[in-house]
Amino acid sequence: MTNIANNLARTASEHPDQAAIILDAHRVSYAEMEGAAAKMTTWMRDQGVTAGDRVALMLPNLPAFPVIYYGALRLGAIVVPMNPLFKRREIEFYLQDSQAKLIFAMPGDEVTAAAKATGATHVPVGLEGVGHLLAELEPTSEIAERAGSDTAVILYTSGTTGRPKGAELSHNNLETNQEKTAKNLLHLGPEDMVMGCLPLFHVFGMTCGMNAAFANGSTLTMIPRFDPAKALEVIERDKVTVFEGVPTMYGALLAAAAAAETEPDLSSLRTSVCGGSSLPVEVLRKFEERFGCVILEGYGLSETSPVASFNHPDEVRKPGSVGVPIEGVEMKLSQLDGSDTPEGEIGEICIRGENIMTGYWGREDATADAIDPEGWFHSGDLGTKDEDGYYYVVDRIKDMIVRGGLNVYPREIEEVLYEHPAVAEVAVVGRPHPELGEEIAAYVVLAPDQKATGEEISAYVKDRVAPYKYPRDVHFIDALPKGATGKILKRELKD
Protein backbone atom coordinates (compact mmCIF):
# COMPACT_ATOMS: atom_id res chain seq x y z
CA MET A 1 0.00 0.00 0.00
CA THR A 2 1.23 3.51 -0.78
CA ASN A 3 0.18 7.13 -0.98
CA ILE A 4 2.53 9.78 -2.31
CA ALA A 5 1.15 12.16 0.33
CA ASN A 6 3.33 10.21 2.79
CA ASN A 7 6.37 11.96 1.29
CA LEU A 8 5.27 15.36 2.56
CA ALA A 9 4.43 13.94 6.00
CA ARG A 10 7.85 12.26 6.27
CA THR A 11 9.74 15.37 5.21
CA ALA A 12 7.74 17.51 7.66
CA SER A 13 8.75 15.11 10.43
CA GLU A 14 12.44 15.10 9.46
CA HIS A 15 12.82 18.78 8.45
CA PRO A 16 9.95 20.68 10.10
CA ASP A 17 11.57 24.13 9.94
CA GLN A 18 12.95 23.80 6.42
CA ALA A 19 11.20 26.03 3.87
CA ALA A 20 8.93 24.00 1.60
CA ILE A 21 7.79 27.00 -0.46
CA ILE A 22 9.10 30.50 -1.01
CA LEU A 23 7.10 33.08 -2.94
CA ASP A 24 9.01 36.35 -2.68
CA ALA A 25 8.66 37.40 0.99
CA HIS A 26 6.21 34.58 1.76
CA ARG A 27 7.78 31.47 3.31
CA VAL A 28 6.01 28.23 4.27
CA SER A 29 7.88 25.62 6.31
CA TYR A 30 7.36 21.89 5.86
CA ALA A 31 5.63 21.68 9.24
CA GLU A 32 3.23 24.45 8.18
CA MET A 33 2.65 22.86 4.78
CA GLU A 34 1.87 19.44 6.26
CA GLY A 35 -0.37 20.97 8.92
CA ALA A 36 -2.35 22.90 6.30
CA ALA A 37 -2.66 19.83 4.05
CA ALA A 38 -3.94 17.76 7.00
CA LYS A 39 -6.56 20.42 7.74
CA MET A 40 -7.52 20.52 4.07
CA THR A 41 -8.18 16.78 4.30
CA THR A 42 -10.57 17.50 7.16
CA TRP A 43 -12.28 20.29 5.19
CA MET A 44 -12.77 18.09 2.11
CA ARG A 45 -14.13 15.24 4.21
CA ASP A 46 -16.63 17.67 5.74
CA GLN A 47 -17.76 18.55 2.18
CA GLY A 48 -18.51 14.89 1.49
CA VAL A 49 -15.40 14.05 -0.52
CA THR A 50 -14.35 10.42 -0.15
CA ALA A 51 -11.58 8.20 -1.51
CA GLY A 52 -11.74 7.95 -5.30
CA ASP A 53 -13.68 11.20 -5.76
CA ARG A 54 -12.20 13.70 -8.20
CA VAL A 55 -11.08 17.14 -7.04
CA ALA A 56 -10.23 19.71 -9.73
CA LEU A 57 -7.38 22.13 -9.04
CA MET A 58 -7.17 25.15 -11.35
CA LEU A 59 -4.61 27.51 -9.83
CA PRO A 60 -1.35 29.18 -10.80
CA ASN A 61 1.83 28.49 -8.81
CA LEU A 62 0.72 29.62 -5.37
CA PRO A 63 1.32 28.07 -1.93
CA ALA A 64 -2.34 26.99 -1.87
CA PHE A 65 -1.69 24.59 -4.76
CA PRO A 66 0.33 21.98 -2.81
CA VAL A 67 -1.92 22.40 0.24
CA ILE A 68 -4.98 21.38 -1.81
CA TYR A 69 -3.06 18.78 -3.86
CA TYR A 70 -1.67 16.89 -0.87
CA GLY A 71 -4.81 17.45 1.16
CA ALA A 72 -6.86 15.65 -1.48
CA LEU A 73 -4.31 12.83 -1.86
CA ARG A 74 -4.21 12.29 1.92
CA LEU A 75 -7.95 11.59 1.74
CA GLY A 76 -7.48 9.14 -1.14
CA ALA A 77 -9.17 11.48 -3.61
CA ILE A 78 -7.96 11.97 -7.20
CA VAL A 79 -6.56 15.36 -8.23
CA VAL A 80 -7.50 16.80 -11.64
CA PRO A 81 -5.02 19.63 -12.39
CA MET A 82 -6.25 22.30 -14.83
CA ASN A 83 -4.81 25.35 -16.55
CA PRO A 84 -6.02 28.52 -14.76
CA LEU A 85 -6.30 30.28 -18.14
CA PHE A 86 -9.13 27.98 -19.25
CA LYS A 87 -12.44 29.45 -20.36
CA ARG A 88 -15.93 28.17 -19.56
CA ARG A 89 -16.14 25.71 -22.47
CA GLU A 90 -12.86 24.04 -21.49
CA ILE A 91 -13.66 24.02 -17.77
CA GLU A 92 -17.04 22.43 -18.41
CA PHE A 93 -15.47 19.65 -20.46
CA TYR A 94 -12.89 18.79 -17.79
CA LEU A 95 -15.44 18.85 -14.99
CA GLN A 96 -18.04 16.87 -16.94
CA ASP A 97 -15.54 14.27 -18.15
CA SER A 98 -13.90 13.73 -14.76
CA GLN A 99 -17.14 14.17 -12.77
CA ALA A 100 -15.23 16.27 -10.26
CA LYS A 101 -17.06 17.14 -7.03
CA LEU A 102 -15.07 20.28 -6.28
CA ILE A 103 -13.06 22.78 -8.28
CA PHE A 104 -10.58 25.03 -6.49
CA ALA A 105 -10.00 28.09 -8.66
CA MET A 106 -9.56 31.85 -8.56
CA PRO A 107 -12.86 33.77 -8.37
CA GLY A 108 -14.45 34.30 -11.77
CA ASP A 109 -17.74 34.17 -13.63
CA GLU A 110 -16.55 31.58 -16.17
CA VAL A 111 -15.50 28.97 -13.62
CA THR A 112 -18.60 29.62 -11.50
CA ALA A 113 -20.87 29.12 -14.51
CA ALA A 114 -19.00 25.98 -15.60
CA ALA A 115 -19.23 24.48 -12.12
CA LYS A 116 -22.96 25.22 -11.91
CA ALA A 117 -23.54 23.62 -15.32
CA THR A 118 -21.79 20.41 -14.32
CA GLY A 119 -22.91 20.11 -10.72
CA ALA A 120 -19.46 20.73 -9.25
CA THR A 121 -18.86 23.10 -6.34
CA HIS A 122 -16.58 26.06 -7.06
CA VAL A 123 -14.30 26.83 -4.10
CA PRO A 124 -12.86 30.33 -4.72
CA VAL A 125 -9.17 30.68 -3.87
CA GLY A 126 -7.64 34.14 -3.95
CA LEU A 127 -4.04 35.23 -3.57
CA GLU A 128 -4.49 35.01 0.20
CA GLY A 129 -4.85 31.22 -0.07
CA VAL A 130 -7.12 28.86 1.83
CA GLY A 131 -6.31 29.80 5.42
CA HIS A 132 -9.83 31.15 5.96
CA LEU A 133 -11.27 27.71 5.19
CA LEU A 134 -8.96 25.90 7.59
CA ALA A 135 -8.64 28.23 10.59
CA GLU A 136 -11.08 26.47 12.92
CA LEU A 137 -10.43 22.90 11.79
CA GLU A 138 -8.52 20.06 13.39
CA PRO A 139 -5.99 18.26 11.17
CA THR A 140 -6.69 14.72 10.01
CA SER A 141 -3.65 12.77 11.17
CA GLU A 142 -4.19 9.55 9.21
CA ILE A 143 -3.32 9.27 5.52
CA ALA A 144 -5.55 7.00 3.45
CA GLU A 145 -3.90 3.78 2.33
CA ARG A 146 -3.98 3.33 -1.44
CA ALA A 147 -2.85 0.52 -3.71
CA GLY A 148 0.10 1.45 -5.87
CA SER A 149 -2.12 1.00 -8.93
CA ASP A 150 -4.81 3.37 -7.61
CA THR A 151 -5.16 6.61 -9.56
CA ALA A 152 -3.67 9.67 -7.86
CA VAL A 153 -3.95 12.24 -10.65
CA ILE A 154 -5.86 12.59 -13.92
CA LEU A 155 -3.82 14.73 -16.31
CA TYR A 156 -5.58 15.74 -19.49
CA THR A 157 -3.54 15.71 -22.68
CA SER A 158 -3.51 18.81 -24.85
CA GLY A 159 -6.01 17.44 -27.33
CA THR A 160 -4.04 18.28 -30.46
CA THR A 161 -5.78 15.44 -32.32
CA GLY A 162 -9.24 15.79 -30.80
CA ARG A 163 -10.83 16.37 -27.40
CA PRO A 164 -8.43 16.02 -24.45
CA LYS A 165 -8.05 12.60 -22.86
CA GLY A 166 -7.40 12.13 -19.15
CA ALA A 167 -4.22 10.16 -18.48
CA GLU A 168 -4.59 8.28 -15.19
CA LEU A 169 -1.33 8.38 -13.25
CA SER A 170 -1.18 6.06 -10.28
CA HIS A 171 0.51 6.56 -6.92
CA ASN A 172 3.18 4.10 -8.05
CA ASN A 173 3.68 5.95 -11.37
CA LEU A 174 4.27 9.27 -9.61
CA GLU A 175 6.28 7.85 -6.71
CA THR A 176 8.77 5.90 -8.81
CA ASN A 177 9.16 8.71 -11.34
CA GLN A 178 9.84 11.44 -8.79
CA GLU A 179 12.20 9.13 -6.92
CA LYS A 180 14.29 8.25 -9.99
CA THR A 181 14.29 11.91 -11.07
CA ALA A 182 15.29 13.27 -7.66
CA LYS A 183 17.92 10.70 -6.78
CA ASN A 184 19.49 9.67 -10.10
CA LEU A 185 19.17 12.86 -12.15
CA LEU A 186 18.82 15.88 -9.88
CA HIS A 187 20.57 14.53 -6.74
CA LEU A 188 18.15 16.53 -4.60
CA GLY A 189 18.59 17.11 -0.87
CA PRO A 190 17.54 19.57 1.86
CA GLU A 191 20.29 21.97 0.77
CA ASP A 192 18.77 22.43 -2.69
CA MET A 193 16.70 25.34 -3.96
CA VAL A 194 14.51 24.32 -6.92
CA MET A 195 13.13 26.94 -9.30
CA GLY A 196 9.34 26.55 -9.46
CA CYS A 197 8.43 28.43 -12.63
CA LEU A 198 7.03 25.40 -14.47
CA PRO A 199 3.26 25.21 -13.91
CA LEU A 200 2.45 22.80 -11.11
CA PHE A 201 -0.70 21.75 -12.99
CA HIS A 202 1.62 20.36 -15.70
CA VAL A 203 3.26 16.95 -15.21
CA PHE A 204 6.83 18.31 -15.56
CA GLY A 205 6.41 20.89 -12.80
CA MET A 206 4.31 18.55 -10.66
CA THR A 207 6.62 15.52 -10.69
CA CYS A 208 10.12 16.94 -11.23
CA GLY A 209 9.47 20.15 -9.32
CA MET A 210 6.95 19.84 -6.49
CA ASN A 211 6.82 16.09 -5.80
CA ALA A 212 10.58 15.58 -6.13
CA ALA A 213 11.41 18.61 -3.96
CA PHE A 214 8.88 17.73 -1.24
CA ALA A 215 10.03 14.11 -1.05
CA ASN A 216 13.63 15.19 -0.43
CA GLY A 217 13.32 18.25 1.77
CA SER A 218 14.33 20.72 -0.95
CA THR A 219 12.80 24.18 -1.19
CA LEU A 220 10.62 25.19 -4.13
CA THR A 221 10.90 28.90 -4.89
CA MET A 222 7.90 29.95 -6.94
CA ILE A 223 6.84 32.53 -9.46
CA PRO A 224 3.11 32.32 -10.29
CA ARG A 225 3.70 32.72 -14.02
CA PHE A 226 6.96 32.57 -15.95
CA ASP A 227 8.62 35.91 -16.56
CA PRO A 228 12.28 35.67 -17.64
CA ALA A 229 13.46 38.86 -15.88
CA LYS A 230 11.71 37.78 -12.66
CA ALA A 231 13.19 34.28 -12.99
CA LEU A 232 16.72 35.69 -13.26
CA GLU A 233 16.05 37.85 -10.19
CA VAL A 234 14.81 34.86 -8.15
CA ILE A 235 17.69 32.59 -9.20
CA GLU A 236 20.14 35.21 -7.98
CA ARG A 237 18.17 36.18 -4.86
CA ASP A 238 17.45 32.68 -3.57
CA LYS A 239 20.63 31.05 -4.89
CA VAL A 240 18.72 28.49 -6.93
CA THR A 241 20.65 25.24 -7.45
CA VAL A 242 18.26 23.41 -9.80
CA PHE A 243 16.48 25.06 -12.72
CA GLU A 244 13.87 23.13 -14.70
CA GLY A 245 12.48 24.56 -17.89
CA VAL A 246 11.22 24.05 -21.42
CA PRO A 247 13.20 25.24 -24.48
CA THR A 248 11.45 28.59 -24.85
CA MET A 249 12.32 29.45 -21.24
CA TYR A 250 16.03 29.07 -21.92
CA GLY A 251 15.77 31.31 -24.96
CA ALA A 252 13.79 33.87 -22.95
CA LEU A 253 16.37 33.86 -20.14
CA LEU A 254 19.12 34.58 -22.66
CA ALA A 255 17.14 37.49 -24.10
CA ALA A 256 16.35 38.88 -20.63
CA ALA A 257 19.99 38.64 -19.59
CA ALA A 258 21.04 40.52 -22.73
CA ALA A 259 18.56 43.30 -21.92
CA ALA A 260 19.54 43.55 -18.23
CA GLU A 261 21.57 46.51 -17.02
CA THR A 262 23.93 44.25 -15.06
CA GLU A 263 24.98 40.66 -15.76
CA PRO A 264 22.81 38.31 -13.65
CA ASP A 265 24.69 36.05 -11.24
CA LEU A 266 23.62 32.46 -11.88
CA SER A 267 26.70 30.91 -10.28
CA SER A 268 24.56 29.02 -7.72
CA LEU A 269 23.06 26.81 -10.45
CA ARG A 270 24.28 23.22 -10.09
CA THR A 271 21.93 21.54 -12.54
CA SER A 272 19.65 22.75 -15.32
CA VAL A 273 17.29 20.34 -17.01
CA CYS A 274 15.15 20.74 -20.09
CA GLY A 275 12.12 18.83 -21.31
CA GLY A 276 8.71 19.37 -22.89
CA SER A 277 10.08 19.55 -26.43
CA SER A 278 13.44 19.46 -28.17
CA LEU A 279 15.93 22.16 -27.16
CA PRO A 280 17.65 23.68 -30.21
CA VAL A 281 21.37 22.89 -29.94
CA GLU A 282 22.25 26.53 -30.67
CA VAL A 283 20.18 27.72 -27.69
CA LEU A 284 21.85 25.12 -25.48
CA ARG A 285 25.30 26.24 -26.62
CA LYS A 286 24.59 29.94 -26.04
CA PHE A 287 23.09 29.35 -22.58
CA GLU A 288 25.96 27.19 -21.38
CA GLU A 289 28.52 29.59 -22.80
CA ARG A 290 26.95 32.61 -21.12
CA PHE A 291 26.09 31.15 -17.71
CA GLY A 292 28.59 28.30 -17.31
CA CYS A 293 25.84 25.83 -16.43
CA VAL A 294 25.37 22.49 -18.16
CA ILE A 295 21.86 21.69 -19.41
CA LEU A 296 20.71 18.08 -19.29
CA GLU A 297 17.95 17.21 -21.76
CA GLY A 298 15.31 14.60 -21.12
CA TYR A 299 12.14 13.27 -22.69
CA GLY A 300 8.69 12.25 -21.58
CA LEU A 301 4.96 12.86 -21.84
CA SER A 302 1.96 13.24 -19.54
CA GLU A 303 1.28 9.55 -20.08
CA THR A 304 4.79 8.63 -18.82
CA SER A 305 4.60 10.54 -15.50
CA PRO A 306 6.62 12.22 -17.30
CA VAL A 307 10.32 11.21 -17.38
CA ALA A 308 11.21 8.38 -19.79
CA SER A 309 14.81 9.17 -20.76
CA PHE A 310 17.53 11.61 -19.77
CA ASN A 311 21.13 12.63 -20.20
CA HIS A 312 22.33 11.45 -16.80
CA PRO A 313 24.61 13.87 -14.90
CA ASP A 314 27.33 11.29 -14.22
CA GLU A 315 27.46 9.87 -17.73
CA VAL A 316 28.31 11.08 -21.23
CA ARG A 317 26.08 13.94 -22.29
CA LYS A 318 25.18 14.32 -25.96
CA PRO A 319 23.80 17.75 -26.94
CA GLY A 320 20.67 17.34 -29.05
CA SER A 321 19.95 13.94 -27.52
CA VAL A 322 17.30 13.14 -24.90
CA GLY A 323 19.63 10.55 -23.41
CA VAL A 324 18.94 6.98 -22.42
CA PRO A 325 15.96 5.39 -20.63
CA ILE A 326 15.90 5.98 -16.88
CA GLU A 327 15.93 3.10 -14.41
CA GLY A 328 12.74 1.04 -14.58
CA VAL A 329 11.93 2.15 -18.14
CA GLU A 330 12.49 0.58 -21.58
CA MET A 331 12.39 2.35 -24.94
CA LYS A 332 12.44 1.21 -28.54
CA LEU A 333 11.75 2.51 -32.04
CA SER A 334 8.86 0.95 -33.93
CA GLN A 335 7.73 1.12 -37.54
CA LEU A 336 4.08 1.83 -38.30
CA ASP A 337 3.51 -1.88 -39.02
CA GLY A 338 4.83 -2.74 -35.54
CA SER A 339 8.21 -4.05 -36.66
CA ASP A 340 11.45 -2.87 -35.07
CA THR A 341 13.31 -0.01 -36.71
CA PRO A 342 16.74 -0.76 -38.24
CA GLU A 343 19.64 1.04 -36.51
CA GLY A 344 20.10 4.60 -37.66
CA GLU A 345 16.63 4.90 -39.17
CA ILE A 346 13.62 6.88 -37.94
CA GLY A 347 10.83 5.17 -36.02
CA GLU A 348 8.11 5.89 -33.47
CA ILE A 349 9.35 6.09 -29.89
CA CYS A 350 7.67 3.43 -27.75
CA ILE A 351 8.02 3.27 -23.96
CA ARG A 352 7.36 0.54 -21.39
CA GLY A 353 7.87 0.48 -17.64
CA GLU A 354 6.74 1.59 -14.21
CA ASN A 355 6.07 5.15 -15.43
CA ILE A 356 3.33 4.31 -17.94
CA MET A 357 -0.18 5.53 -17.10
CA THR A 358 -2.80 2.96 -16.18
CA GLY A 359 -4.95 4.23 -19.04
CA TYR A 360 -7.14 7.08 -20.28
CA TRP A 361 -10.02 7.95 -17.95
CA GLY A 362 -13.20 6.35 -19.27
CA ARG A 363 -11.63 5.70 -22.69
CA GLU A 364 -10.84 2.01 -23.11
CA ASP A 365 -10.70 2.47 -26.88
CA ALA A 366 -8.09 5.22 -26.68
CA THR A 367 -6.10 3.24 -24.09
CA ALA A 368 -6.01 0.20 -26.40
CA ASP A 369 -4.84 2.40 -29.27
CA ALA A 370 -2.02 3.89 -27.18
CA ILE A 371 -0.77 0.85 -25.23
CA ASP A 372 -0.27 -2.40 -27.14
CA PRO A 373 -0.83 -5.89 -25.67
CA GLU A 374 2.87 -6.13 -24.70
CA GLY A 375 2.62 -2.96 -22.62
CA TRP A 376 4.40 -0.59 -25.02
CA PHE A 377 3.06 2.96 -25.01
CA HIS A 378 3.17 4.45 -28.52
CA SER A 379 4.20 8.08 -28.09
CA GLY A 380 3.44 9.54 -31.50
CA ASP A 381 6.98 10.97 -31.53
CA LEU A 382 9.53 10.10 -34.20
CA GLY A 383 13.11 9.45 -33.18
CA THR A 384 16.44 7.80 -33.88
CA LYS A 385 18.87 5.89 -31.66
CA ASP A 386 22.66 5.95 -31.98
CA GLU A 387 25.17 3.14 -31.43
CA ASP A 388 25.47 4.05 -27.73
CA GLY A 389 21.72 3.77 -27.12
CA TYR A 390 21.07 7.52 -26.94
CA TYR A 391 17.73 8.66 -28.34
CA TYR A 392 17.08 11.72 -30.49
CA VAL A 393 13.58 13.14 -31.01
CA VAL A 394 13.09 14.04 -34.67
CA ASP A 395 9.51 15.30 -34.56
CA ARG A 396 5.92 14.48 -33.83
CA ILE A 397 4.41 12.11 -36.41
CA LYS A 398 1.63 14.65 -36.97
CA ASP A 399 4.15 17.49 -37.51
CA MET A 400 6.16 15.72 -40.20
CA ILE A 401 5.84 17.47 -43.58
CA VAL A 402 5.49 15.42 -46.76
CA ARG A 403 6.57 17.66 -49.64
CA GLY A 404 6.33 16.13 -53.08
CA GLY A 405 6.45 12.66 -51.56
CA LEU A 406 9.60 13.41 -49.53
CA ASN A 407 9.62 13.60 -45.72
CA VAL A 408 10.78 16.85 -44.13
CA TYR A 409 11.23 17.01 -40.36
CA PRO A 410 10.56 20.53 -39.03
CA ARG A 411 13.05 20.22 -36.19
CA GLU A 412 15.94 19.78 -38.63
CA ILE A 413 15.02 23.03 -40.39
CA GLU A 414 14.44 24.83 -37.09
CA GLU A 415 17.94 23.84 -35.92
CA VAL A 416 19.40 25.50 -39.02
CA LEU A 417 17.30 28.64 -38.56
CA TYR A 418 18.37 29.03 -34.91
CA GLU A 419 21.94 29.36 -36.17
CA HIS A 420 21.00 32.54 -38.08
CA PRO A 421 22.10 35.55 -35.98
CA ALA A 422 18.84 37.45 -36.59
CA VAL A 423 16.54 34.64 -35.41
CA ALA A 424 15.34 34.61 -31.79
CA GLU A 425 12.58 31.99 -32.15
CA VAL A 426 11.20 29.96 -34.99
CA ALA A 427 8.63 27.29 -35.79
CA VAL A 428 8.38 25.34 -39.04
CA VAL A 429 5.08 23.84 -40.20
CA GLY A 430 3.56 22.44 -43.36
CA ARG A 431 0.83 24.22 -45.29
CA PRO A 432 -1.40 22.64 -47.96
CA HIS A 433 -0.12 22.84 -51.51
CA PRO A 434 -2.21 21.84 -54.57
CA GLU A 435 0.63 20.06 -56.39
CA LEU A 436 3.21 19.10 -53.76
CA GLY A 437 0.77 18.08 -51.04
CA GLU A 438 2.52 20.31 -48.51
CA GLU A 439 4.85 23.29 -48.64
CA ILE A 440 7.28 24.33 -45.89
CA ALA A 441 6.49 27.51 -43.95
CA ALA A 442 8.70 29.16 -41.30
CA TYR A 443 7.36 31.55 -38.66
CA VAL A 444 10.22 33.70 -37.39
CA VAL A 445 10.58 36.00 -34.38
CA LEU A 446 13.55 38.30 -34.93
CA ALA A 447 16.06 39.05 -32.20
CA PRO A 448 16.05 42.61 -30.80
CA ASP A 449 17.53 45.20 -33.20
CA GLN A 450 17.92 42.58 -35.96
CA LYS A 451 16.55 42.74 -39.48
CA ALA A 452 16.13 40.15 -42.21
CA THR A 453 13.99 39.48 -45.25
CA GLY A 454 12.13 36.32 -46.13
CA GLU A 455 14.40 35.84 -49.12
CA GLU A 456 17.50 36.05 -46.90
CA ILE A 457 16.10 33.49 -44.45
CA SER A 458 15.15 31.08 -47.24
CA ALA A 459 18.54 31.41 -48.88
CA TYR A 460 20.33 30.80 -45.57
CA VAL A 461 18.56 27.46 -45.14
CA LYS A 462 18.84 26.55 -48.83
CA ASP A 463 22.63 26.72 -48.59
CA ARG A 464 22.62 24.20 -45.74
CA VAL A 465 20.06 21.51 -46.59
CA ALA A 466 18.78 19.52 -49.54
CA PRO A 467 16.82 21.61 -52.07
CA TYR A 468 13.42 20.18 -51.15
CA LYS A 469 13.79 21.08 -47.45
CA TYR A 470 14.17 24.86 -47.28
CA PRO A 471 11.13 27.03 -46.44
CA ARG A 472 9.55 28.82 -49.40
CA ASP A 473 7.21 30.73 -47.08
CA VAL A 474 8.77 32.88 -44.35
CA HIS A 475 6.50 34.87 -42.03
CA PHE A 476 7.79 37.35 -39.46
CA ILE A 477 5.67 37.58 -36.32
CA ASP A 478 6.06 39.33 -32.96
CA ALA A 479 5.60 36.17 -30.87
CA LEU A 480 4.94 32.49 -31.38
CA PRO A 481 1.76 31.06 -29.85
CA LYS A 482 2.61 29.09 -26.72
CA GLY A 483 0.89 26.88 -24.20
CA ALA A 484 1.03 27.08 -20.41
CA THR A 485 4.54 25.64 -20.15
CA GLY A 486 5.93 27.73 -22.99
CA LYS A 487 5.62 24.94 -25.53
CA ILE A 488 5.09 26.29 -29.05
CA LEU A 489 1.59 25.57 -30.34
CA LYS A 490 2.17 24.63 -33.96
CA ARG A 491 -1.45 23.75 -34.50
CA GLU A 492 -2.35 27.43 -34.12
CA LEU A 493 0.18 28.35 -36.81
CA LYS A 494 -1.30 25.71 -39.09
CA ASP A 495 -4.80 27.03 -38.45
**Would you state the pLDDT for residue 483?**
86
Residue 392 and residue 431 share a domain:
no
Domain that holds residue 436: 400-494
Q: Residue 255's closest CA among 235, 238, 232, 239?
A: 232
Q: In this model, does residue 160 exceed pLDDT 60?
A: no
Give the tens place of pLDDT for each residue, 253-278: 999 999 999 999 999 999 999 998 78
276 HSE (CA, 13 A, CB side): 28
> In this structure, what CATH number is given to the domain that contains residue 79?
3.40.50.980
DSSP 3-state of 336:
coil
- For residue 280, being part of any structural domain is answered with yes
Calpha distance 423→460 (Å, rounded) = 12
Residue 161 and residue 209 share a domain:
no
- For residue 321, being part of any structural domain is answered with yes
- For residue 413, being part of any structural domain is answered with yes
CA distances from 379 to 160, 371, 386, 487 (A): 13, 9, 19, 17
Give the tens place of pLDDT for each residue, 101-149: 999 999 999 999 999 999 999 999 999 999 999 999 999 999 999 999 9
**Residues paired with residue 121 on neighbouring β-strands, in sequence order:** 102
Mean pLDDT of all residues in the chain? Answer: 94
Q: In this model, does residue 162 exceed pLDDT 90?
A: no
DSSP 87: -
**Would you state the pLDDT for residue 395?**
86
- For residue 113, being part of any structural domain is answered with yes
Cβ atoms of 182 and 176 within 8 Å: the answer is: no
Last residue of a domain, one of 363, 396, 429: 396
Give the tens place of pLDDT for each residue, 63-109: 999 999 999 999 999 999 998 988 888 899 999 999 999 999 999 99
Q: Label the pairing between strands 78-81 and 54-58.
A: parallel
- For residue 25, being part of any structural domain is answered with no
Cis preceding-peptide flag for 471 (omega within 30 of 0): no
> In this structure, what CATH number is given to the domain that contains residue 377?
3.40.50.12780
- For residue 1, being part of any structural domain is answered with no
Residue 206 and residue 351 share a domain:
yes
**Would you state the pLDDT for residue 95?**
98
Calpha distance 46→425 (Å, rounded) = 50
Residue 158 and residue 229 share a domain:
no
Give the tens place of pLDDT for each residue, 421-454: 999 999 999 999 888 888 999 999 999 999 999 9
Cβ atoms of 150 and 53 within 8 Å: the answer is: no
Residue type, 368: A
- For residue 2, being part of any structural domain is answered with no
Residue 238 and residue 146 share a domain:
no
Give the tens place of pLDDT for each residue, 349-358: 999 999 999 9
- For residue 104, being part of any structural domain is answered with yes
> In this structure, what CATH number is given to the domain that contains residue 414?
3.30.300.30
DSSP 3-state of 164:
coil
The enclosing H or E element of 232 equals helix 228-238
Greatest alpha-carbon pair distance for the chain in Å reads 71
Calpha distance 379→350 (Å, rounded) = 6
Query: Mean pLDDT, to the nearest integer, of 163-167?
Result: 91
CB atoms within 10 A of CB 31: 16
Residue 235 and residue 362 share a domain:
yes
Residue 247 and residue 160 share a domain:
no
**Would you state the pLDDT for residue 429?**
95
Q: Give 28 or 467, the one with higher predicted confidence.
A: 28
Last residue of a domain, one of 396, 430, 462: 396
Calpha distance 243→228 (Å, rounded) = 12
pTM of the model: 0.88
Residue 288 and residue 422 share a domain:
no
CA distances from 345 to 109, 237, 385, 391, 413 (A): 52, 46, 8, 12, 18
Cβ atoms of 294 and 273 within 8 Å: the answer is: no
Counting beta carbons within 10 angstroms of the beta carbon of residue 318, is it exposed (0 to 12), middle (13 to 18) or buried (19 or more)?
middle
Q: In this model, does residue 1 exceed pLDDT 80?
A: no
Angle at 213 between CA 145 and CA 360, to 5 degrees: 55
Residue 264 and residue 118 share a domain:
no
Which residues, in sequence order, are CB contacts of 418 under 8 Å at separation 6+?
Answer: 280, 281, 282, 283, 426
**Would you state the pLDDT for residue 308?**
98
Residue 314 and residue 436 share a domain:
no
Residue 347 and residue 433 share a domain:
no
Q: How many domains does the chain contain in total?
A: 3
Q: In this model, does residue 56 exceed pLDDT 80?
A: yes
DSSP 3-state of 295:
strand
Counting beta carbons within 10 angstroms of the beta carbon of residue 290, is it exposed (0 to 12), middle (13 to 18) or buried (19 or more)?
middle
Residue 165, phi then psi, degrees to nearest 5: -115, 140
Cβ atoms of 297 and 330 within 8 Å: the answer is: no
CB atoms within 10 A of CB 14: 11
